[in-house]
Amino acid sequence: MTDAVAFCEANSIPFKTDLSAKTFSTFKIGGIAPLVVYPTDTEQVSILLKYFNANNLRYKTVGNCSNVLFSDNMLDCILIKTDLLSFLNVENEHIVSGSGNFLSKLASAALKNHLSGMEKLFGIPGSVGGAVIMNAGAFGAEMSQIVEQTEYVDAKGNIHIVKGEEHCFGYRKSCFTESDVVTKTTLKLIPGIYRNIREEMNAVKTKRVSTQPLDMPSAGSVFKRPDGHFAGKLIEDCGLKGFSVGGAQVSTKHAGFIVNTGNATAADVKELINLIQSEVFDKFGLMLETEIRII
Ligand SMILES: Cc1cc2nc3c(=O)[nH]c(=O)nc-3n(C[C@H](O)[C@H](O)[C@H](O)COP(=O)(O)OP(=O)(O)OC[C@H]3O[C@@H](n4cnc5c(N)ncnc54)[C@H](O)[C@@H]3O)c2cc1C
């Protein structure tokens, strides 16, 4: 790790050492990350990945960490955090964005430029890169409908661009492998009317506030939606709303969310996930699949 730090210093790549994942995950859970690097452009990502590859160093890329559960132990990988990949440009109906920008920042830029297509995604607390990887979506809209092309760097440090259907978007998934780092995405929106866009964004925000436990740390919906069902409803029908393991609780507001009531550990959350899965399976014969990614 000392060599990796020296490498970052020599290449002017911002980094931090010994950072608690509790400080940057929306779940407020996780052990110490020994090294977190913050590349500022695609070139720095490529340089880093070439170095990691040559030295057999494990890494994981994260954005806003709003869909991940970090382990309680010290992380056994270097984190690439995309916060500083924050380039943003609006060109006619296109928004070109670094992967580290918040989705909400893009939705606001779209509104300012009278562009429609992001309204329903407003309020998803993720980065552009995380939203592309996850094909994030809400209220019937998803990233796949607006993503035109994406730049990424592979594990060997080579830079690629994928367009349209090459993203292979599916429900909460895309074509990218665990080792790819998404660096830039172009969205294609359509001209809209400022007032209508703003009203829809406000309506979506109100709906989120009234249905989701936004005042407590969480990673959003823990489980994918099983075909023809809602995970939250199945969990509620098992009588698990409000059920706790340690500091992890099935939200009393939305049973699809697990919230951290203060001192939850990753072990608590995992135990609660297992318990929910087995209760739902016993009652409905359905195995809930996790949407959150465990690091
Ligand atoms: C209160 C709340 C509400 C939410 N509501 C929704 C919702 O309505 N719809 C929805 O779809 N999701 C929702 N989420 C989940 C989450 O916000 C989305 O999945 C979001 O897109 C994740 O983005 P992120 O930057 O936080 O990704 P992270 O959590 O940091 O990472 C998620 C995954 O993507 C990978 N990743 C992230 N960035 C990159 C990159 N640049 N290159 C390569 N891999 C990368 C990570 O390795 C990980 O596997 C919600 C979460 C919370 C806390």
Residue 205 lies in a domain: no
Nearest protein Cα to ligand 1, atom 43: 181
Active site residue 172: yes
Start-to-end CA distance of the chain, whole Å, equals 19
Q: What is the pLDDT of residue 226?
A: 92
CA nearest 218: which of 129, 105, 125? Answer: 125
Helices (H), 148-230: 194-211
Residue 201 lies in a domain: no
User: CA–CA distance from 89 to each of 123, 184, 186, 227, 246 (Å)?
Assistant: 20, 11, 9, 38, 45
CA 174 to ligand 1 centroid distance, Å: 13
CA 65 to ligand 1 centroid distance, Å: 6
**CATH number of the domain residue 219 falls in:** 3.90.78.10
Pair 98, 180 in one domain: yes
Nearest protein Cα to ligand 1, atom 38: 130
Pair 189, 98 in one domain: yes
Q: Which two tokens stand for residue 263?
A: 């001192």
| Contact predicate 35/1, CB 8 Å | yes
Strands (E), the chain: 15-20, 32-37, 59-62, 68-69, 78-81, 88-91, 94-98, 115-116, 137-138, 141-142, 147-153, 159-163, 181-188, 190-191, 218-221, 244-245, 248-250, 257-260, 293-294
Residue 43 lies in a domain: yes
Active site residue 104: no
CA 293 to ligand 1 centroid distance, Å: 9
Domain that holds residue 178: 88-196
| Contact predicate 255/233, CB 8 Å | yes
User: Best substitution site from 66, 160, 218 to test ligand 1's pocket, by max atoms within 8 Å of Cβ?
Assistant: 66
Q: Which two tokens stand for residue 41?
A: 């452009």
- Final residue belonging to a domain, choices 164, 196, 228: 196
Q: Which two tokens stand for residue 273?
A: 């996930």
For residues 37 and 223, give the distance between their C-alpha atoms in angstroms, rounded to a whole number: 29
CA 68 to ligand 1 centroid distance, Å: 7
Q: What is the pLDDT of residue 2?
A: 74
- Final residue belonging to a domain, choices 196, 227, 249: 196
Pair 217, 182 in one domain: no
**CATH number of the domain residue 32 falls in:** 3.30.43.10
**CATH number of the domain residue 181 falls in:** 3.30.465.10
Residue 160 lies in a domain: yes
Secondary structure element (H or E) that encloses residue 130, with its range: helix 128-134
Catalytic residue selected from 86, 172, 179, 293: 172
Residue 108 lies in a domain: yes
Residue 203 lies in a domain: no
Domain tally, the chain: 3
Q: What is the pLDDT of residue 1?
A: 73
Pocket of ligand 1 (CB under 6 A): 26, 60-68, 82, 99, 124-127, 129-131, 133-134, 136-138, 180-182, 212, 214, 218-220, 293
CA nearest 124: which of 207, 194, 28? Answer: 207
User: Best substitution site from 36, 80, 105, 124 to test ligand 1's pocket, by max atoms within 8 Å of Cβ?
Assistant: 124
pLDDT along the chain (295 residues), means of 10: 91 97 97 98 98 96 97 96 97 97 96 97 96 95 97 98 96 95 98 97 96 96 93 96 97 97 97 97 96 93
Q: Under 8 Å CB-to-CB from 70, ≥6 apart: which residues?
A: 21, 25, 27, 29, 30, 31, 33, 266, 295
- DSSP designation for 22: G
Pair 95, 164 in one domain: yes
Residue 119 lies in a domain: yes
| Contact predicate 80/152, CB 8 Å | no
Residue 206 lies in a domain: no
- Final residue belonging to a domain, choices 168, 196, 224: 196
Active site residue 9: no
Nearest protein Cα to ligand 1, atom 33: 130
